[in-house]
Structure formats: C-alpha cells, structure tokens
Structure 1
Amino acid sequence: MNAAKRLEIFERLAEAMPEPTTELNYNTPFELLIAVVLSAQATDVGVNKATAKLFPVANTPEAILKLGLDGLKTYIKTIGLYNSKGKHIITLCQQLLNNHAGQVPDTREALEKLAGVGRKTANVILNTAFGQHTIAVDTHIFRVSNRMGIAPGKNVLEVERKLEKFVPKQHKKNAHHLLILHGRYTCVARKPKCPNCIIANLCEFKDKTII
C-alpha cells in the first residue's frame, strides 16, 4: 500500500470520527490505568459497569489499598480473570505510592515496571492520558492493519512498528482510536461490513463481503 492511499484512509476515518477516543470511562490517568488493566480479555462495557461502582468509592492508589484485595474483588468480580487482575492492581497501587508519589508515570519504561502493565497497556496510557503518539496494537488493530494491507505484520510488535512508520504524521495521535473503532464497528472479525465501509475502495482486502 502506498503513502497516498494510507493518507486517504486516515483522512476519511478522521472525517467520520473527528474526536475518536477510548470507550472506557475515566476522569484521571489513574482511573484510565485501572480500567485498561481490567479490560484485558474483557469488554469495555463490562469494565465500565464495574468501575461505575468502584471509582466513586476508590479512585486513588490509597483508596484502593484501603479496600484491600478482598474489598476490591467485590467490585471487579464480574470481569474475567478478576483474581489475577485484582492482585496486579493492589501491587501497582503500592508501586505508584512507593515510586511515583501516587501519580501515574508518563514514560513507557516506568509504566511497564508496574504490575499488570505490558507494552500495549503502556501505549494506551501514553496516548490517551498523556497525548503521546503511541499506537497500542490490540486484536482489532492487528486484524484491521493486516486485512486492509495498511501495516501487515506477523505479530503485534511488527504491526506497531509499521504503523509508527507508515501512519501520516498528522494522524498519529488519533490513529490508535481510529483503527480500534473502525475494527470494532465496521471491519469486524467474522463478517466485515464492507458494503457500508467508507474506505472499502481503498482497502486491499481480497475477500470483501457483498450485500
């Protein structure tokens, strides 16, 4: 895929979604961090239901530590893998207090040292909370990038590197959310909605669906 076609793809997506953002509900970088940790292998809708009850009670590292692991679990038990996620959250809250004065750090190196935080989660925080031009490659972005031909790769890191290289500079800040939302609602996994896709004529997917 050439640069002109990539640019047109992002121009159309940006026009259709002028203010793309996460569908996780949050008000602070810490709330976003907790929501993203909880969202692994879970839906944003499910996470939002849990955090709608959790955050009014505890939305700081101190408050969550005061709840304790058992108390935290009562709020997140509807989310998959809640036992391990709860342990990660308790540990990362203590790490934030010990090493960052209770604040969420704004560097990848510091974020990836937190319990339960990998490269993808760090990229989400850097992009969404701090406005950095990072692109977290989740299942949606991996699928869309390969299917459209915009940044094909054998693994998530390869796709991330290609997106960093090929996404037009003016769209790098929002590319993460543009691609996720496109993958979540249009370029879906089993039967992409090609007839309703605004970039169908630019996409290089060979098996486009028809009406």
Structure 2
Amino acid sequence: MNKQTRYTFYARLAELDPNPTTELNYTTPFELLTAVLLSAQATDVGVNKATKILFPVANTPQGILALGKEGLESYINTIGLYRSKAKHLLETCRILIERHGGEVPRDRESLEALPGVGRKTANVVLNTAFGVPTIAVDTHIFRLGNRTGLAPGKDVRAVEDKLLKVTPKEFMLNAHHWLILHGRYICKARKPECWRCVVNDVCDYRSKQLTPPPGR
C-alpha cells in the first residue's frame, strides 16, 4: 500500500467516524487503566458490566486497595483470569500510591513498570487518557495491518512500528481507535464483511467477498 492509498484508507475511516473512542467505559485515567488491565482476553462488554458495579464503590487506588483481594474478586469474577487480574490491580494500586501520589503516570516507562501493564495497555492509556499519538496493536489491528497491506509485520511490535512510520500525522491520534473498531466489526477474523467496507477498493486482501451472503 503506497502513501496516497494509506491516506485514502484513513480519510475514509475518519469520514465514517470523526470522533472515535474506546468502547471501555471510564471517566478518569485510573478507571481507564483499570478497565484496560481487566480487558486482557476478555470483551469490552464483559469488562463494562463488571466496572459498572465496581466503579461506583471503588474507582481510585485507595478504594480498590480497601476492597482487598476477596472484595475485588467479588466484583470482577465474571471476567476471565479474574484472580490474577485482581492480584495485578492491587499491586498496581500500591505502586501508584507509593511512587506516583495515587495518580496514573503519563510516561511509558512508569506505566510498563506496573504489574499486568504491558506495552499495549500503556499505549491505550497514553493515547486515550492523555492524548499521546500512540497505536496499541491488538489481535484486530495486527490482522488488519497484514490483511489489508496497510502495515504488514511478523509480530505486533513490527506492525506497531510500521503504523507509527506510515500513518499520516493528522490521523495518528485516532488511528488506534479507527483500526480496532474496523477490525472488530468489519474486517473480522473469519468472515470479513468486505461488502460493507468503506476501504475495500484500496485493500490488498485477495479473497474479498463484495456481495453479502444470502440472508445478510
């Protein structure tokens, strides 16, 4: 995919959704960090159901710590891997209080030093909470980057590096959201819905189905 084609790709996604954002519900950077930490190998819908109950009771590091392990687990036990996530979140809360005055840090190094927070989670928080032009590559974006030809790479870091290099500056801030939503709802893993894709004519995917299957 060349420079002009990439511009067209992003411009169409931007026209379709001028103000994209995460589907995780949050009101503060700490709530976002918590939601993203809980979302690993879980759906945003499932996380939102849990945090809808959790956040009115505890939405600060101090509040989460006050719940304790069993208390926190009782709010998030509908989410996969909830025991390990509760452990990581409690440890993260302790570090935030001890090292960062109870606030979510705004730099990658400090974020990635938190238990359960990897590069992808750090990118989401930096981008969504603090407006840093980063791109968090998950399975959807990894698939989309390779399938469409937008940013091919052998692993998620390679795709991230490629996207940071080739994404036009004016689209960088929202690129993560456009790509993940497109991958989640249109460019699906097993059956991409090419017939309703706004970028199907600039995509490199060779097995496009441009007419909907019967009943769609």
Calculate the TM-score normalised by the size of structure 1: 0.99
Shift of 1:209: 1.8
Shift of 1:59: 0.2
On the 8 A contact 1:193/1:209 being kept in 2, the answer is yes
- Within 2, Cα distance between the matches of 1:167 and 1:106? 23
What are the within-5 Å matches in structure 2 for residues 62-141 of structure 1?
A: 62-141=62-141
Shift of 1:177: 0.2
- Within 2, Cα distance between the matches of 1:101 and 1:6? 42
On the 8 A contact 1:12/1:198 being kept in 2, the answer is yes
What is the CA deviation profile of residues 97-140 of structure 1, one whole-angstrom value per residue up to 9, with x for unaligned ones? 00000000000000000010000000000000000000000000
On the 8 A contact 1:133/1:172 being kept in 2, the answer is yes
What is the CA deviation profile of residues 29-74 of structure 1, one whole-angstrom value per residue up to 9, with x for unaligned ones? 0000000000000000000000000000000000100000100000
Aligned residue pairs total 211
2:71 aligned counterpart, secondary structure: helix
The answer for the alignment partner of 1:149 in structure 2 is: 149
> Does 2:58 match 1:58?
yes
Unaligned runs of 5+ in 1: none
1:176 aligned counterpart, secondary structure: helix
Identity among equivalent positions (%) equals 63
The answer for the alignment partner of 1:32 in structure 2 is: 32
Q: What is the aligned-residue RMSD (CA, Å)?
A: 0.5
- Within 2, Cα distance between the matches of 1:141 and 1:17? 17
- Within 1, Cα distance between the matches of 2:193 and 2:168? 25
Calculate the TM-score normalised by the size of structure 2: 0.97
On the 8 A contact 1:191/1:209 being kept in 2, the answer is no
1:45 aligned counterpart, secondary structure: helix
- Within 1, Cα distance between the matches of 2:138 and 2:103? 25
2:135 aligned counterpart, secondary structure: coil
1:201 aligned counterpart, secondary structure: helix
- Within 1, Cα distance between the matches of 2:158 and 2:55? 36
Shift of 1:210: 3.5
Unaligned runs of 5+ in 2: 212-216
What are the within-5 Å matches in structure 2 for residues 176-191 of structure 1?
A: 176-191=176-191
2:191 aligned counterpart, secondary structure: coil
